[in-house]
Amino acid sequence: MSGHVHKDYTGAKFGMWLFLFTELILFGGLFILYAVYLARYPQEFVSAGTELDVRFGAGNTLVLLTSSLFVAMSITALRRGAKGLTQCLLAGTIVSAAIFMINKYFEWSAKINHGIYPGSEHLKELAPGEMVFFNIYYVTTGLHGLHVVIGALLILWTMLMIARGKVTGEDWVLLENAGLYWHLVDLIWIFIFPLYYLILH
């Protein structure tokens, strides 16, 4: 019976790593697209990059790094039988995700109020490189934001499974897989932040 559980565990882990690999390919494609156009329009990318607020980017980086720490600690807590602490740490991760999305809402709102959004007349008046920069920025950060929401829902689902006793210190593969997904979301942002907010300043 224990061998069967181990096989399921290995299969679940392998499936998750395979899924994460496809996600890396998706965002990797966007980063390659960014690099190609950066080489083509270096000055215009720098000009567009100065429009972004580093404080929003830095704040969200800190929020996601903290949330990843919460997730890692929650796995340790669950394996030690500290169910209450595990739930608190996972709740902290969901709160972090909410803070991230609220920050992103204010950041995007500021840009939209200045007429900088895909398809806007103002964006069409900008230099070609600047228009490309903002289009890639919105696609990349929008897709990443969607992943943040999905990750938070996955962690909420995991919390419910822990509360029902279906995820325990002996059977914690769901929590580990949710954690892996969340770490990927964090890792992708670690690339987005310097590419859009730091390198161009």
Domains of the chain: 2-198 (1.20.120.80)
**Other CB atoms within 10 A of residue 70 CB:** 21
The separation between CA 129 and the C-alpha centre of its own chain, rounded to angstroms, equals 26
Mean pLDDT value of segment 163-181 = 93
Mean pLDDT value of segment 7-35 = 89
Which residues, 6+ apart, have CB-to-CB distance to 18 below 8 Å? none
Q: Check if the beta carbon of residue 118 is closer than 8 Å to that of residue 135.
A: yes
Q: Which pLDDT belongs to residue 200?
A: 59
pLDDT higher than threshold 90 for residue 163: yes
The backbone torsions φ and ψ at residue 81, rounded to the nearest 5 degrees and listed phi first, read 85, 10
Closest CA to 13 of 153, 179, 135, 160: 179
pLDDT band at 13 (very low <50, low <70, confident <90, very high): confident
Mean pLDDT value of segment 123-139 = 93
Q: Mean pLDDT in the chain?
A: 92
DSSP single-letter state for residue 163 = H
pLDDT band at 155 (very low <50, low <70, confident <90, very high): very high
Distance CA 136, CA 159 (A): 35
pTM, 2 dp: 0.90
Q: What is the percentage of the chain residues whose pLDDT exceeds 70?
A: 95
Distance CA 1, CA 23 (A): 34
